């Protein structure tokens, strides 16, 4: 898809003169991080606030990726946008898009814009990890259960995230439970290798979730598998992940 604007955002973007590629490309905004200069081009992210609504405006030029469906390359935002829409169709909680467009600009190259809704009120799991033991046990259990259930929904829908890190799992306190959703969908692909692929996502998560203990892993896996933490199924997955971890550490 070469161009998209969400119906719910069309009016507000038009009101501010930002309902087009040219207008968003020319918008002067402060960057929220350093530019990504990899992949032969550049990519930047800026915050945009309109009438009390928060957005992140992502712009890139010649920042490309290759895949089986795009062997000659395409903007990484094009791939991420397709995955955002795919997650919507599969009912996998994730960030949502307000605008996407791709254009070849003279003297610049292959350019793309992806405007996403800000996850205001949400925090990545990485926000809680530095002081993990200090959080009440019920809060820790609810956070882990939300992460596990999200991973379960992702894999049950036949998708691999490919970058399933604590900083990419966003959570919001809903009272009795935490809500969870995913960001950074650039590397998403179909789950082709069954348990091997599922373990890949989970292993990525646990390797970067510094501060989690064995009991924490059991709570998350129990939510992922929808069974009791002391079940044989959880024990089997823990052994399998431990073997994978030993193998990766040895290579």
pLDDT per residue as tens digits for the range 219-242: 999 999 999 999 999 999 999 998
Residues 6 or more apart whose Cβ sits within 8 Å of residue 28: none
Task: Supply the pLDDT for residue 7.
Answer: 96
Chain centroid, CA 226 distance in Å:
22
| Total-model pTM | 0.93
Ordered structural domains, the chain, with CATH? 3-117 (3.30.200), 123-250 (1.10.510.10)
Percent of residues in the chain assigned helix, strand, coil, to nearest 5: 45, 25, 35
Whole-number CA gyration radius for the chain: 20
pLDDT per residue as tens digits for the range 116-168: 999 999 999 999 999 999 999 999 999 999 999 999 999 999 999 999 999 99
pLDDT per residue as tens digits for the range 8-46: 999 999 999 999 999 999 999 999 988 888 777 899 999
């Amino acid at each position: 898809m070469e161009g998209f604007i969400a119906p719910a955002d069309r009016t507000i973007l038009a009101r501010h003169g930002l309902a087009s590629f040219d207008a968003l490309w020319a918008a002067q905004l402060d960057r929220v991080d350093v530019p990504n200069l990899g992949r032969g081009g550049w990519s930047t992210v800026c915050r945009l606030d309109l009438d009390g609504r928060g957005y992140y405006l992502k712009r890139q030029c010649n920042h490309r990726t290759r895949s089986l469906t795009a062997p000659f390359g395409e903007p990484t935002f094009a791939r991420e946008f397709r995955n955002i829409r795919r997650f919507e169709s599969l009912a996998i909680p994730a960030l949502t898009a307000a605008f996407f467009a791709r254009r070849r600009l003279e003297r610049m190259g292959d350019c793309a814009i992806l405007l996403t809704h800000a996850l205001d009120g949400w925090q990545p799991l990485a926000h809680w990890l530095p002081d993990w033991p200090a959080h009440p046990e019920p809060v820790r259990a609810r956070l882990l259960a939300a992460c596990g259930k999200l991973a379960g929904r992702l894999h049950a829908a036949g998708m691999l995230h490919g970058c399933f890190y604590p900083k990419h799992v966003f959570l919001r306190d809903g009272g009795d439970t935490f809500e969870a959703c995913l960001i950074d969908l650039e590397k998403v692909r179909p789950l082709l290798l069954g348990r091997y692929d599922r373990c890949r996502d989970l292993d990525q998560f646990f390797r970067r979730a510094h501060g989690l203990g064995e009991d924490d892993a059991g709570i998350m896996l129990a939510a992922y598998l929808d069974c009791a933490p002391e079940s044989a199924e959880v024990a089997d997955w823990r052994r399998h992940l431990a073997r994978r971890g030993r193998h990766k550490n040895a290579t």
